[in-house]
């Protein structure tokens, strides 16, 4: 049987230290790899969320354009009394089902309500045949989109738009007149 001298012990200790060092570095590299993968997964999730948001925004804009066109060409239906935007957006789905108009586009349910704003007697959008200026009437449209399978307690995707249309009255302004372009004046997410 062979005995190990002091050099042999040092060699075994050195091998043990090298093995321990390699294991520590492998552990560090493994943790860094896991961290990188988690960051990549979070980034993909965020990109997917942004893509879904952009798609909903495009669909909502398409629906809103249709509703605006109806308001511009016909007498608007689904009129409700004016209320602050935050209160309107906080209304439950049941309220929308009872008080608003509804529709369906590509499997997406939506509800909309129209609020009549004050008549702007100092704004005009054009002239009628006998050279009278027509006043402008503003309407605020609120659209609520509901995803398939969405719970009643979950908030929907809510947009608002303000549309200017010709009023059936002439301008009667004592101040400065403003020319307004008929159609969408603004829109926002709420």
* Span 133-184, pLDDT tens digits: 888 889 999 999 987 665 555 567 889 999 998 888 778 888 888 888 889 9
Per the CB < 8 A criterion, the answer to whether 161 and 64 are in contact is: yes
Look over the chain and give the mean of its residue pLDDT values, rounded to a whole number.
84
- Which residue is associated with the tokens 């302004």? 173
Alpha carbons 58 and 85: distance in angstroms, whole number: 21
Q: What is the pLDDT of residue 128?
A: 65
At residue 11, φ and ψ (nearest 5 deg) are: -65, -40
For residue 94, the SS3 value is helix
Q: What is the pLDDT of residue 64?
A: 92
Model confidence at 4: pLDDT above 70: no
Can you give the pTM of this predicted structure?
Answer: 0.72
Q: What is the pLDDT of residue 134?
A: 83
* Number of continuous H segments (helices) and E segments (strands) in the chain: 3, 7
pLDDT tens profile 88-112: 888 888 999 999 999 988 888 899 9
Q: What is the pLDDT of residue 36?
A: 92
pLDDT tens profile 39-60: 998 888 888 888 888 888 888 8
At residue 110, φ and ψ (nearest 5 deg) are: -145, 155
Helices (H), 82-169: 85-89, 93-99
The DSSP bridge pattern shows strands 133-146 and 157-170 to be antiparallel
Model confidence at 19: pLDDT above 80: yes
Alpha carbons 12 and 18: distance in angstroms, whole number: 10
- Which residue is associated with the tokens 């704004």? 123
């Amino acid at each position: 049987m062979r005995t190990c001298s002091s050099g042999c012990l040092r060699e075994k200790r050195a091998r043990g230290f090298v093995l321990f060092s390699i294991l520590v570095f492998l552990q560090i590299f493994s943790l860094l790899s896991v961290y990188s993968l988690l960051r990549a997964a979070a980034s993909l999730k965020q990109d997917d969320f942004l893509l879904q948001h952009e798609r909903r925004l495009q669909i909502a804009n398409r629906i809103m354009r249709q509703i605006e066109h109806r308001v511009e060409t016909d007498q608007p239906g689904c009129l409700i009394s004016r209320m602050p935007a935050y209160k309107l957006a906080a209304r439950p789905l049941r309220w929308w089902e009872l008080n608003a108009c509804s529709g369906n586009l590509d499997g997406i349910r939506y509800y909309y309500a129209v609020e009549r704003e004050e008549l702007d007697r100092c704004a005009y959008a054009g002239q009628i045949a006998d050279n009278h200026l027509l006043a402008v009437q503003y309407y605020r449209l609120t659209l609520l989109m509901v995803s398939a399978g969405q719970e009643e307690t979950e908030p929907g995707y809510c947009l608002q738009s303000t549309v200017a249309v010709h009023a059936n009255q002439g301008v009667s302004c004592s101040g400065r007149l403003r020319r307004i372009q008929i159609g969408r004046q603004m829109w926002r997410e709420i």
